[in-house]
Structures are given as structure tokens and as C-alpha cells.
Structure 1
Amino acid sequence: MASPGYFSLQNIFSVAVRERCVVNLKSFKAPTSKLKHIPTKTAAVLIPICGIEKVPSILYTVRSPNLKNHSGHISFPGGKTVKNETPVETALRETEEEIGLSSSKIDVWGYGPAFPGRNNEIMITPVIGAIPKLTHMDLNVNYSEVSEVFSVPLDVLCNKDNHFHTQFKNNYILPVFVAENYKIWGITAYLTHVFLSCLLPKEIYKNEWMKKKIVLSL
């Protein structure tokens, strides 16, 4: 078990942890080899690593029930790219549109490879953004797109008692994280797993879902 000091703001937001995370993310192999074709549609999401009341946490949103697609799902701030946008520009723009978090508050660490989204219809690039000190005053939620914003401490996400998996009709499985009344699943859970794997040493973040008999394929 990690010592309490490992999850301190000083450690998580240190230069050494940042550099390790970015290097690992850049070299992470996206599971695209089994795709019949690579989608041409692209999107980007921000994975916000935040200091909330001195606790390192990841910020999530709950999509508005009024949206046509994936209403009520837990997700990261983000959306489709527009012409000539970089993944970073897309993630920052969508984050400000959805939850009112200004790009001036976000320290962009970098971004990883694009991952296939649900039903392999779009390629999603995760962008890592650090907000060492986040308060509710930094947010201005657009309730037409987002019904709720919540955070989960890193130590909760690393607790194996909160690790589950879901098996889809096509026999593929993906990780699931449970935190209080929230169930994080699908591509959001997978990107959470990727980020934690890149951010933390293996002895700190251990997720056993990949040891299941069914091989991962998005």
C-alpha cells in the first residue's frame, strides 16, 4: 500500500512525476491493430488532474440528460475537433464551454495517442491538464451540456476494492471504477486506466482487469 505521502500534492505535481507521465503516455500503444479501419472523425478530451482541498483528484462530468448522444454518461470534458484544431486546442475549448474552466488555469502536460471511441466511430485523443489548486469558483457549468461535475481522489481510484470490469455483448471487457454512487465505465474508464498507468508506478496502481480471459479490444 502506498504511503499517505505518495498522494501528496507536492509529489503528484512534481516535475519528476509529470515527466514520467508524459513519457509513458507518448509511448502507450493504443489498441488499434484489430480495427478494420481507422475512423476519420476525431475528438479530444481533457483529463483534469486537480488539487481539491489539498487532495490530488481527477475531475469528471456527467453529461446532460437532454443531450441526444450518451446522455447521463460520465465523461471527461471534451468533444469533436473542428477544422485545423490541435487536440490541445479542442480539449481546452470544450472544457471552457462545458464547465467554464479557463485555459489560463490549466497547465497542459501533453497528450497521448488517439484511442478508438465507442463503436469505433471516432478517434479520441486524451490531453493531460493539471490544476494544482481548483475550487468551485473556477467552474461555471453549462447545464445544457453537463448536469454535474465531480472529482475522485487518486487513492480511491487506486484502491482495488473499487476496481471492476464490464463485459459487452461482443465479449470484450473494459475496466470499471466505482466511487461512492458513481460508476465510471466505457472509454472514460479506459482512459482513466491509461492515465493512472502512466502517472503512477505499478506498485501504486494495480488493476487486475487485464488478467481476465477475454482480451481487450475497443
Structure 2
Amino acid sequence: MIKPADARRPDDADSAGAAHAGPDSSGQDASPRPYWDTFSGSRTRLDTPPPWADLPPQTRQGIRIDTVRRAFRHRYTPPPAPQRPGIRDAAVLLVLFEEADEARVVLTERSGTVSTHRGEIAFPGGVCDAGETSGQAALREAWEEIGLAGATVELIGELGWQNAELTKFQITPMVGTVAARPLLRINHSEVRDVFDVALTGLMADGVYREELWVAPDGRFMVPFFDLPQGIAWGVTASILVELLAIVTGGVHDNRPPPPGWIAP
């Protein structure tokens, strides 16, 4: 389960989340090197401000669940992901709850035994079964991976779909809220750890960064969040950026995510 956050402030980026659940039941404790750490092309850290740098400080502080709900009541419904040969539909669930007057989002660290994205920071989710909606798939996967009961989740909206080009997934992020910190049961065959982070902590100084990657097939902008529990990057990071933009009022129309971002 997600253990209670420690005594540090919930909006402090250095304490954004709950205690780790420890090694998985097979005794594996070391995560494999993620793709971003093995990329063979050139990588350059960009000296660019985060997307929320120009927002008034009060907009980036004290974000509560009511703020999130209001933002999604006025959120447009993104167009469905296009059907493409060889690309599998998938869905992930952004689970939000409030604690100490702060909205927090649940993240996982994938196990070292799953077939894709081993050891990476992610949201609970997976491939959609035949006939499933994105919401149904996201809730089912959250139950299978972290024991989150779907009946406790209120789905309040969705974000724009994302391409995971390296693994051929087309991902729809679903956003849901629960009434309080959830009690979870980790399926260690899929998830090594589960933790949570305050939305304000994601926007703290020094947490977000971008890199320019140059590969034979092009140049890509890659977003990162440096968290105490690990590095969220690629699709996970771009989903978090869109969530923060919506919640802080940074998105008012149907514009897509920033072009050129990589979605490994």
C-alpha cells in the first residue's frame, strides 16, 4: 500500500511522495537501466524555463482536488487516438487524492521483469482489451497492478493521447480522484514500488528539465522530472506537464502537446 507521507512538507519536492515499498517478492532490488540512460545519440540539457515559469506564484501553490475538478469541468474532450496498423491501444490512470490541503498523484516504478519499460516511473495502466473503453482499461489495470478498487475512483476526464513509439503503444491518459489516500496492494510481478507526489512539488524549482536528443532519425525534445523516487521522463513526463497545464489554467484550447517531444 501507499504508506503515509513522512513529516516533511507535502509541497517540498525533496519529499514528494510516500515511503518506498521495498524490493519485490523475488528479491530483486536493483532496477534495470532505463532507455534514457542508454540512449546512444548526443544529449544536451537545455537551459529553458519550465512551462509554468511565468505563472504567478499563488497559481503554483496550494493546489487542491477542488481546483483539479474545476479545471476538468471546463476541459474539452480530446479527439480519440487514430487507429494505426501495428499500434496497440493502451490507457493509464492518473489517480489523484488530497492530503494536507494538497492534491497528490500516484506514480509507480515498474518491475524489472515486465516486457517493456522495465524499472521506469509510470502510471498504472496497460493494453486495452477488445471492446474496452480507455476508462475501463485504466481502471482494470490499476486494480491488477496496485489493487486500486475501481468503485472508489471517480473518473473526471482524460488527457490527449500519447505515442510510445519505441514500444508501439497509443496511450490515453484517464484522470480520476479518490476520496482519501488509497490503501493499495502491489502486484510485484508488474510493479516494484508505488508512491505519490504533490502537484505543487512537481513545479518546485529544479524538478523539471528538458534535453535535446539527436539521433540518426531526427532531433527530439525530451522532458524530465527529477523526483526523489526516480526520474519520470518521456510519455510519463509529458502527461504530467499536460495535467499541470490544465490545472493551473495554462491550457484553454485544443492545442496538442509541444511538438518534437519524444515519447519512448
Q: TM-score range, shorter-chain basis?
A: 0.7 to 0.9
| Identical columns (%) | 24
**Alpha carbons 2:223, 2:234 under 8 Å: kept:** yes
**Alpha carbons 1:172, 1:216 under 8 Å: kept:** yes
In the alignment, does 2:104 pair up with 1:63?
no
**Higher-RCO chain (CA-CA 8 Å, sequence separation at least 6):** 2
Q: Which amino acid aligns with 1:185?
A: W
| Residue 181 of structure 1: how far off its partner (Å) | 4.2
| Residue 198 of structure 1: how far off its partner (Å) | 1.6
Partner of 2:47: none
**Cα deviation code 1:89-127 (max 9, x no counterpart):** 000000000000101111101223422113271210010
Uncovered stretches (5+) of structure 1, i.e. residues with no partner: 204-209
- Going from structure 1 to structure 2, the CA distance change for 1:18 and 1:159 (only over 3 Å counts) comes to same
SS at 1:152 equivalent: strand
Partner of 1:148: 193
Q: Which amino acid aligns with 2:148?
A: L
In the alignment, does 2:244 pair up with 1:196?
yes
Partner of 2:133: 86
| Residue 8 of structure 1: how far off its partner (Å) | 4.7
**Alpha carbons 1:39, 1:120 under 8 Å: kept:** no
Distance (whole Å) between structure 1 residues aligned to residue 206 and residue 134 of structure 2: 34
Q: Which amino acid aligns with 2:184?
A: L
**Alpha carbons 1:9, 1:132 under 8 Å: kept:** no
TM norm structure 2? 0.66
Distance (whole Å) between structure 2 residues aligned to residue 161 and residue 48 of structure 1: 24
Q: Which amino acid aligns with 1:9?
A: R
Bigger Rg, which one: 2
Partner of 1:124: 171
Matches within 5 A, 1:1-218: 1-3=56-58, 7-9=62-64, 11-14=66-69, 16-20=70-74, 22-23=75-76, 26-27=77-78, 40-119=87-166, 121-135=168-182, 138-168=183-213, 169=215, 170-202=218-250, 215-216=260-261, 218=263
More off after superposition, 111-120 vs 190-199 = 111-120
**Alpha carbons 1:62, 1:148 under 8 Å: kept:** yes
Uncovered stretches (5+) of structure 2, i.e. residues with no partner: 1-55, 252-257
TM norm structure 1? 0.79
**Alpha carbons 1:75, 1:188 under 8 Å: kept:** yes
Distance (whole Å) between structure 2 residues aligned to residue 9 and residue 197 of structure 1: 15
